[in-house]
Amino acid sequence: MASDKAPIRPEESLEKMVASLKEKTGKTLEEWQSVIEQSGWTKHGEIVKGIKDGFGVSHGYANQIALRSVSSGPPNSDDPITEMFGKRAEVKPIYDAVLALLEGFGSDIDLAPKKGYVSVRRSKQFAILQPASGRLDVGIQLKGVTPSARLEASGSFNAMLSHRVRVPSVETVDAELSAWLKQAYDLA
């Protein structure tokens, strides 16, 4: 059942997450930064682990606290997508084309930027969009679908997904890619 509400932009998701920190975790970002300073944690991974293990905070919130604490603010930009494509600007038009395709499936898609990729979810993650050198890697969850030359088995690319499609240009954001993504969307 599709919803009529507009998809949530990554920036909006992050703003809502930060705004609800106190309610969801019991502390404001400033209070978390104080906890991190007192703990001596300096690396992103140890901050996430410390917050999750020591305070029972979910991974998503712990990750955002760590990202904002390590750099004393949002990750170098107000827009995590701009930051992600900063060194791979040539890939951004491909990302935009895939995003437009995804938005055509329904308004219930949620985008969640991570450190090096964007998670695409409905009720669960069904794809990721990851910039690579000269291309966009699209990870897709299609268990039981036989890999082909273009729809590769994900292998070491991402263990949470079954397949990867390497998308080297806007022109290769085509009906075949759309069909695979739509199938994964329908299953999510």
Q: What is the pLDDT of residue 14?
A: 66
In a 13 Å sphere around the CA of 105, the CA atoms on its Cβ side amount to 24
Q: Which of 50, 70, 90 represents a domain boundary (last residue)?
A: 70
Average pLDDT rounded to a whole number, residues 107-119: 89
Q: Is the pLDDT of residue 1 over 50?
A: no
Q: Which of 49, 70, 91 represents a domain boundary (last residue)?
A: 70
Q: Which of 2-16, 60-74, 91-105 has the lowest mean pLDDT?
A: 2-16
Pair (132, 60) in one structural domain:
no
Q: Which of 70, 90, 121 represents a domain boundary (last residue)?
A: 70
Q: Which of 35-39, 41-45, 106-110, 165-169 has the lowest mean pLDDT?
A: 41-45
β partners of residue 128: 119, 139
Q: Is the pLDDT of residue 147 over 50?
A: yes
Pair (37, 123) in one structural domain:
no
Summarised one tens digit per residue, pLDDT across range 20-76 is 888 888 988 888 888 888 888 888 788 889 999 999 988 878 888 887 776 544 444
Q: What is the pLDDT of residue 107?
A: 87
Pair (87, 121) in one structural domain:
yes
Q: What is the DSSP letter of 38?
A: H
Q: What is the pLDDT of residue 86?
A: 84
Is residue 51 situated within a structural domain? yes
What Cα–Cα distance (Å) separates residue 15 from each residue in 78, 80, 122, 181, 182? 10, 11, 20, 27, 28
Average pLDDT, the chain: 86
Q: Is the pLDDT of residue 2 over 80?
A: no
Residues 119 and 112 sit within 8 Å (Cβ to Cβ): yes
> 25 is in which domain, residue-wise?
10-70
Pair (129, 150) in one structural domain:
yes
For the chain, the domain total comes to 2
